[in-house]
């Protein structure tokens, strides 16, 4: 009998079991082709919106933001890519701007230095620096600097939770994220990350008492790895414990990659949740 995800304890797993329990690529063998498709579709979108690409917010090569404008003076979704903090790039994820843009939501995709070239502390600081830059530049770009919602997938879900404390971020939409880094620290993923216990706990939203009192939506796929499903459920419970605004949803039948179909579509569940977050944070309704 398979152990329910909410009873699964990573501390009782062997190193091999833990590594497999965190390996999304192994769990979804077709993920290589899926991501290749993301790249192709993102290239087309970038060609359609070439004017505000690679805006530099810091000194390092990946300290760049792509801005896709949907509406003059509209709100902005800041999207943070995944890849366990050590792979992938913002360019792959451009296509996921299309769902929010269909509702008049501008989308900014942020790049950041990958491990091992940056520590996790440095990556978090880069995200905050990028938000500083974006908020200051939005009026000139045609957006509203007072209406920013952060979102991200996988490691980007973790960075979304870490960005929630930034004063310019009004809410967060975290997709299939990691919120307790201790299992990461004990797995193959730590070879490049180099986390010690102090750094792991400092950067684990689930290990920090309290948290930012801003709306946060958490979603995960019902067909995702059990350890990741538990991460999202446990973080939702953590926020409830401290009386912090949170919604939690498991989307049936989708895995770590197919869940993103719910963002690329204008009618997708994640797109809908993002629109609802903006409506909660603003007196100006989002077009439906």
Domains assigned to the chain: 14-281 (3.40.50.1820)
Q: What's the pLDDT tens digit per position in 194-230?
A: 999 999 999 999 999 889 999 999 999 999 999 999 9
Element (H, E) at 108: strand 106-110
**DSSP codes of every residue in 154-194:** THHHHHHHHHTTSTTEEEEEEES-----HHHHTSTTHHHH-
The CA-atom distances, in angstroms, between 103 and each of 70, 155, 288 are: 8, 26, 6
Task: Please name which of 179, 176, 177 lies closest in space to residue 259, comparing C-alpha atoms.
Answer: 176
Q: What angle do CA 69, 259, 11 make, to 5 degrees?
A: 125
CA 41 to chain centre: 20
pLDDT at 1: 41
Phi, psi of 109 (to 5 degrees): -110, 130
Q: What angle do CA 280, 273, 135 make, to 5 degrees?
A: 60
Q: Which residue has the tokens 């491990």?
A: 115
pTM of the model: 0.96
Mean pLDDT of the chain: 95
From CA 278, how far away is CA 12, in angstroms rounded? 41
pLDDT at 7: 76
pLDDT at 285 over 70: no
Q: What's the pLDDT tens digit per position in 160-180?
A: 999 999 999 999 999 999 999
Q: What's the pLDDT tens digit per position in 222-271?
A: 999 999 999 999 999 999 999 999 999 999 999 999 999 999 999 999 99
Neighbours of 3 (CB within 10 A): 10
Rg (CA), the chain: 18
């Amino acid at each position: 009998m398979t152990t329910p995800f909410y009873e699964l304890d990573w501390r009782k797993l062997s190193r091999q079991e833990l590594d497999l329990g965190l390996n999304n690529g192994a769990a979804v063998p077709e993920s290589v082709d899926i991501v290749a498709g993301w790249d192709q579709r993102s290239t087309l979108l970038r060609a359609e919106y070439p004017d505000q690409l690679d805006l530099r917010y810091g000194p390092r090569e990946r300290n760049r933001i792509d801005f896709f404008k949907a509406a003059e003076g509209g709100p902005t979704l800041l999207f943070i890519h995944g890849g366990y903090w050590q792979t992938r790039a913002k360019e792959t994820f451009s296509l996921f701007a299309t769902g929010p843009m269909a509702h008049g939501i501008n989308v900014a995709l942020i790049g950041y230095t990958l491990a091992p070239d940056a520590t996790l502390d440095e990556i978090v600081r880069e995200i905050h620096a990028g938000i500083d830059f974006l908020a200051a530049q939005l009026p000139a770009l045609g957006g509203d600097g007072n209406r920013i919602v952060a979102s991200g997938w996988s490691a980007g879900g973790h960075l979304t939770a870490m960005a929630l404390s930034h004063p310019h971020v009004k809410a967060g939409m975290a997709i299939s994220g990691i919120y307790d880094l201790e299992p990461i620290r004990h797995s193959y993923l730590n070879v490049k990350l180099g986390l010690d216990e102090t750094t792991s706990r400092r950067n684990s939203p689930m290990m920090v008492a309290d948290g930012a009192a801003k709306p946060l939506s958490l979603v995960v796929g019902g067909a995702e790895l059990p350890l990741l499903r538990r991460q999202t459920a446990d973080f939702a419970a953590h926020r409830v414990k401290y009386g912090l605004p949170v919604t939690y949803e498991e989307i049936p039948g989708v895995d770590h990659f197919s869940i993103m179909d719910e963002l690329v579509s204008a009618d997708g569940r994640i797109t809908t949740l993002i629109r609802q977050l903006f409506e909660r944070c603003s007196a100006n309704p989002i077009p439906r």
